[in-house]
Amino acid sequence: MDTLKALMVFMTTAENGSFSDAARKLGVSPAAISQSIARLEQELEVRLFNRTTRQLTLTEDGRRFYAQCRGPVNNLDSAINQLKASRDEPAGHLRVSMPNSFGRRFILPLMEEFCDLYPKIKVFFGLDDNFSDLVEDGYDVGVRTGMMPDSRMVARNLAQMPLYVVASPSYWKRFGRPDKPEDLANHDCINFQFPTSGRLFKWEFDRAGERIPLEVTGTYTLNEMEAVCELARLGMGVAQLPGHEVVHYIRTGELEAVLTDMVSLERSIYICFPHRDHIAPRTRVFVDFVVSKLSEHPDIIADLPGLDLTAKRSALRQQSDI
């Protein structure tokens, strides 16, 4: 016998006072209600209802049993209602993985407003340039830069990410400016190494719509983007870095960009979450909030004065829609 179902039938019958009313409430036939009560009485070896042709009333044992069941059933109703409420109202713990520099600069400053809007959400941030596996490491959301994620992810694009070749004004004054990507072979280029794979980041350019990858060499190799930027700012070499890392220093004059007519936009900044049948409201509102705040952020779009990348962005969007 399905005990929980039988108890619900008993409680509904006791509260409605007849098999027919209970049947209408539960969407079954009066005969099904009568049979369920009879099986429960047989299981418990006690009569729960006095039956006459005119009325149905609880026995003394039935009243005592109803009172004992009422508390647990109320608790169950409360648990169900709380679960439904949490499904409608964003609440609970949210785990977010994001790159160190980008997360500190762009995500963390948004959190005061986000937590004011959704005070029942508790956020854990994993700041990690190793790009943790969201599924294996139990993250709800990931902020990523680079190529699009694997097929297990749902991704929303924040922006195409311009890659700028930069060095300090003093460096360009000493060694001259390149006219084309191939000229970088004569410069001390600072390499970035991916922390997890150990693979070197390949520089890339867009020449008349053609993507040109380029391997460079130099004195320094680092596995942290901010450190690459700092070496370039100190005049110790040439770097290719995402616009959101360098646009501030370009505007202040601490770095100068070259080869801007060949800026690549192949890589993206995106926010992603694992494929799931039911997306928790806390995940949905966080993703929507970040997209609304950052998709037009000037330091993320990172177009330089006099450099309009709108046409390139439009062309990339059209390609992705095919």
Pairing of strands 141-146, 256-258: unpaired
- Asked whether the domain spanning 163-262 has the same topology as the one spanning 92-160+267-321, the reply is yes
User: Given pLDDT bands bounded at 50, 70 and 90, which one contains residue 11?
Assistant: confident
Check residue 322 and give its pLDDT: 33
Q: Do residues 156 and 169 lie in contact, with contact meaning Cβ atoms separated by under 8 Å? A: no
> Residue 320: pLDDT above 60?
no
Pairing of strands 153-160, 256-258: unpaired
Q: Do residues 189 and 238 lie in contact, with contact meaning Cβ atoms separated by under 8 Å? A: yes
User: Given pLDDT bands bounded at 50, 70 and 90, which one contains residue 209?
Assistant: confident
Check residue 153 and give its pLDDT: 79
> What b/e string do you get for 146-184 counting C-beta neighbours within 10 Å, with b at 16 or more?
beebeeebeeebbbbbbbbbbbbeebbeeeeebeebeeb
Interatomic CA distance for residues 153 and 94, integer angstroms: 17
Check residue 306 and give its pLDDT: 72
Q: Where are the alpha helices (DSSP H) in 60-117?
A: 60-88, 100-102, 111-117
Q: What is the pLDDT of residues 32-50, one digit of tens each?
A: 988 998 998 888 889 988 8
Q: What is the pLDDT of residues 75-119, one digit of tens each?
A: 776 666 666 655 667 889 999 999 888 899 999 999 999 999 999
Domain coordinates in residue numbering, the chain: 3-88, 92-160+267-321, 163-262
Token pair in block for residue 268:
């993206």
Listed residue (188, 268, 204, 194) closest to 224, CA to CA: 194
Average confidence (pLDDT) over 280-304: 89
Burial class of residue 296 (count of CB atoms within 10 Å of its CB; 0-12, 13-18, 19+): exposed
> Residue 321: pLDDT above 50?
no
Interatomic CA distance for residues 113 and 156, integer angstroms: 21
Homologous superfamily (CATH) of 92-160+267-321 is: Periplasmic binding protein-like II (3.40.190.10)
Average confidence (pLDDT) over 9-36: 88
CATH of domain 163-262: 3.40.190.10
Interatomic CA distance for residues 140 and 159, integer angstroms: 21
Q: What is the pLDDT of residues 254-272, one digit of tens each?
A: 999 999 999 988 888 889 9
Q: Do residues 267 and 216 lie in contact, with contact meaning Cβ atoms separated by under 8 Å? A: no
Determine the topology of domain 3-88 in CATH.
Arc Repressor Mutant, subunit A (1.10.10)
